[in-house]
Amino acid sequence: MNLILLGPPGSGKGTQSKILVKNLGLVQLSTGDMLREAVKSGSVIGQKVAKIMDAGELVTDEIINSLIREKLAERNSGFIFDGYPRTLNQADSLEAQLARAGARVDMVIELLVDVDQLIERIVGRLSCVSCGAMFHKTYQPPTIEGICDVCGGDLMQRKDDNEESFRTRLLEYYQKTAPLTGYYHRAGILKHVSSIGSIEEISERIEATIQAG
Ligand code: ADP
Ligand code: ZN
């Protein structure tokens, strides 16, 4: 099974992916995480993408497709794609690569949100530098301020989690990524899940949707 989670920044793709990894044994493939790793390590790709990411713009399809190609060379099923594909070109590329391995995208879940809530979710968001666990200053505060409940690592705010970059990210989403819903609707594999409510409520809805096929 290959699953894509689609939704604007702050819709909960990363949080929900991590839960699906635990409950369903899928492997999370987050291009955002991969790019942040590249920035942290100071690799050639990392140096190229840092400014673009901080501003909230999309990285080129060429870079993304090459990152994904490496991952799909290792396995071609059991993925939960989080934050990828983000353009029609990336969707075509994914389909072609999976088809070559006899695999496909089985389901696409679009997380439906109240756009007015996104900004609050984003600017209060914290993530662990060591293990990637996510927290929120108001909605899900860590037990000890600045410290990860899971591993004791330091909590940081992402550089693109500010109001200006968020607006750019949202615009990029509506212009370039939202059209993918039409693409997957046409393929007959698009499902909708409301991403309003508690993390548990949303994950239950997602799992029910997957189970229903
Ligand atoms: P979010 O979904 O919260 O906006 P991500 O972690 O998925 O955050 O992505 C962070 C940034 O990484 C994006 O704003 C963009 O610059 C870059 N990025 C991640 N995935 C892609 C992709 N598939 N195509 C282009 N850029 C991407
Ligand atoms: Zn941690």
Tell me which residue has its CA closest to atom 10 in ligand 1.
32
Distance from residue 10's CA to the centre of ligand 1 (Å): 11
Closest CA to 32 of 22, 10, 121: 10
- Ligand at shortest distance from the CA of 132: 2
Atom of ligand 1 nearest to the CA of 83: 7
Per-block average pLDDT, block size 10, for the chain (213 residues)? Answer: 96 93 94 94 95 98 94 92 98 95 96 92 92 90 96 95 96 98 97 94 97 92
Ligand 1 pocket test, candidate residues 35, 115, 173, most atoms within 8 A of CB: 35
| 181: helix, strand or coil | helix
**Bridge-based pairing state of the strands 3-6 and 107-112:** parallel
Give one DSSP letter per residue of 78-118, joined into a string. SEEEES---SHHHHHHHHHHHHHTT----EEEEEE--HHHH
Q: What is the pLDDT of residue 74?
A: 87
Instruction: Respond yes or no: is residue 18 known to be catalytic.
Output: no
C-alpha distance from residue 150 to each of 131, 134, 155 (Å): 8, 10, 11
Is 86 catalytic? The answer is yes
pLDDT in tens, 92-124: 999 999 999 999 999 999 999 998 889 999 999
What confidence score (pLDDT) does residue 213 get? 86
Residues 6 or more apart whose CB falls under 8 angstroms from that of 159 comprise 53, 54, 165
pLDDT at 133 (0 to 100):
87
Whether 69 is catalytic is no
Assess whether 167 carries a catalytic annotation. Answer: no
Could you tell me whether strands 125-128 and 134-136 are parallel, antiparallel, or unpaired per DSSP bridges? antiparallel
Report if pTM > 0.95: no
Q: Which ligand is nearest to the CA of 52?
A: 1
